[in-house]
């Protein structure tokens, strides 16, 4: 790029930055007019028997397939006791027809639910999930499959659609089992999202307006909190239930109860200037909201997050080195047992070779 092109490029960038800034300034100006309660954090510190978990994974693509190692890790935390860890590792080998991205994500989510069920057997007072509880009932269904799932009886046996649907059913049945177990055993189930991009609160505040600001809840909280620690009043919200989802629920015999189709949502800023955290809880556990608020403060790690979730995240994280070692074990086994399969499916992609 010569000097003239560089100057033109910088001018173009400057122009676009100014346009974006003007738009965002106007959004901030409008949102500052919103009066929404933002409460001080509770001061009560109440150590409990806490469970938390997280999941991690790795993926390596070859010419004809993808190898996806996954893991989930959780623990019971009690004051003055060492954590009791539960870990699960597994690996999936998927062809390109299997839609590795969506199948792999669902595979990891099921591992996490399995660990959560084992933690629930140990009767914690509170169980912190990584991410939103709504993902249990409303786990995304790929757009490419929704058409096929409109008529479940027509799904071809042995097809990728049947394979995905079978795994999806296992996931929502396990998730439903976890939720109902927590309600019956009086375990407070809490979903904690550290990087939420949801706009549920924005929609709630503008439900009677024709125009909704193009902003997510975290940005809104950053504005109305004025950089101070605190939390928002929990609101009840119910995601939209599509006809396809209703059919999937009915086929799996899960989430037929109205009270399990809606949730409570609030946002916490645990330290001045820290990133807002999305916190979800169950409708049937409405009388436990104060305990959730106290738990968020009790287990604050001093940096704007909660310690149990931070520790399980570190434990569940799958490093590139560890993931590559699992992949290499699978590759070596296939190479020794079936060289023909190895040659057909396991060549490196050309761009990987060039790099």
pLDDT tens track for 250-297? 999 999 999 999 999 999 999 999 999 999 999 999 999 999 999 999
Poorest-pLDDT segment among 67-81, 240-254, 317-331, 334-348: 334-348
Mean pLDDT of 349-354: 46
Dump pLDDT digits (tens) for 226-240: 999 999 999 999 999
pLDDT of 219 over the 80 cut: yes
CB 31 within 8 A of CB 220: yes
Mean pLDDT of 41-62: 94
Between 44 and 278, the higher pLDDT residue: 278
Poorest-pLDDT segment among 39-48, 99-108, 303-312: 99-108
Distance CA 200, CA 264 (A): 11
Between 91 and 13, the higher pLDDT residue: 91
Mean pLDDT of 19-47: 86
Mean pLDDT of 168-174: 96
Give the pLDDT score at 238.
Answer: 93
Residue 351's pLDDT band (boundaries 50, 70, 90)? very low
CA 124 from centre of chain: 22
Place of tokens 């009791």: 84
Give the residues across from 129 on adjacent strands.
Answer: 191
Distance CA 118, CA 112 (A): 10
Dump pLDDT digits (tens) for 101-152: 888 899 999 999 999 999 999 999 999 999 999 999 999 888 777 776 777 7
CA-CA-CA-CA torsion sign (71, 49, 235, 169): positive
Check residue 330 and report its DSSP letter.
H
**Domain 39-321: CATH class, spelled out:** alpha beta
CB contact set of 70 (below 8 Å; sequence gap of 6+)? 55, 56, 57, 58, 89, 90, 91, 92, 104, 107, 108, 111, 318
Q: For the chain, what is the mean pLDDT?
A: 90
Mean pLDDT of 163-176: 94
- Within 13 Å of residue 185, how many CA atoms lie on the same side as its CB? 18
Share of the chain above pLDDT 90, in %: 65
Give the dihedral of Cα atoms 37, 40, 41, 44; nearest 10 deg: -120
pLDDT of 24 over the 50 cut: yes
pLDDT of 153 over the 90 cut: no
pLDDT of 91 over the 80 cut: yes
Domain(s) labelled CATH 3.30.2170 in the chain stretch across 39-321
Mean pLDDT of 85-111: 90
């Amino acid at each position: 790029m010569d000097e003239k092109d560089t100057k033109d490029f910088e001018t173009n960038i400057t122009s676009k930055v100014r346009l974006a800034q003007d738009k965002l300034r106007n959004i901030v100006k409008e949102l500052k007019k919103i009066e929404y309660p933002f409460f001080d954090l509770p001061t009560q510190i109440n150590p409990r028997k806490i469970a938390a978990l997280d999941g991690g994974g790795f993926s390596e693509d070859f010419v004809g397939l993808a190898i996806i190692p996954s893991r989930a890790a959780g623990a019971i935390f009690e004051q003055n006791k060492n954590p009791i860890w539960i870990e699960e590792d597994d690996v999936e080998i998927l062809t390109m027809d299997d839609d590795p991205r969506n199948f792999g994500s669902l595979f990891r989510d099921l591992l996490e639910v399995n660990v959560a069920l084992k933690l629930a057997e140990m009767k914690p007072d509170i169980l912190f999930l990584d991410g939103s509880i709504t993902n249990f009932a409303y786990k995304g269904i790929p757009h490419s499959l929704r058409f096929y799932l409109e008529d479940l009886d027509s799904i071809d046996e042995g097809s990728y659609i049947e394979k995905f649907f079978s795994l999806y059913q296992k996931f929502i049945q396990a998730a439903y089992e976890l939720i109902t177990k927590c309600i019956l055993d009086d375990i407070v189930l809490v979903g904690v999202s550290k990087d939420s991009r949801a706009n549920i609160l924005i929609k709630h505040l503008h439900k009677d307006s024709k125009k909704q600001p193009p902003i997510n809840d975290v940005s809104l909280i950053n504005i109305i909190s004025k950089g101070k620690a605190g939390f928002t009043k929990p609101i009840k919200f119910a995601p939209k239930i599509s006809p396809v989802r209703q059919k999937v629920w009915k086929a799996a015999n899960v989430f037929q109860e109205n009270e399990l189709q809606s949730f409570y949502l609030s946002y916490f800023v645990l330290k001045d200037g820290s990133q807002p955290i999305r916190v979800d809880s169950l409708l049937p556990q409405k009388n436990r909201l104060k305990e959730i608020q106290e738990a968020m403060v009790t287990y604050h790690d001093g940096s704007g997050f909660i310690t149990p979730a931070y520790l399980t995240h570190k434990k569940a994280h799958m490093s590139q080195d560890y993931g590559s070692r699992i992949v290499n074990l699978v590759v070596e086994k296939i190479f020794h047992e079936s060289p023909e399969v190895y040659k057909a499916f396991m060549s490196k992609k050309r761009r990987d070779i060039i790099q």
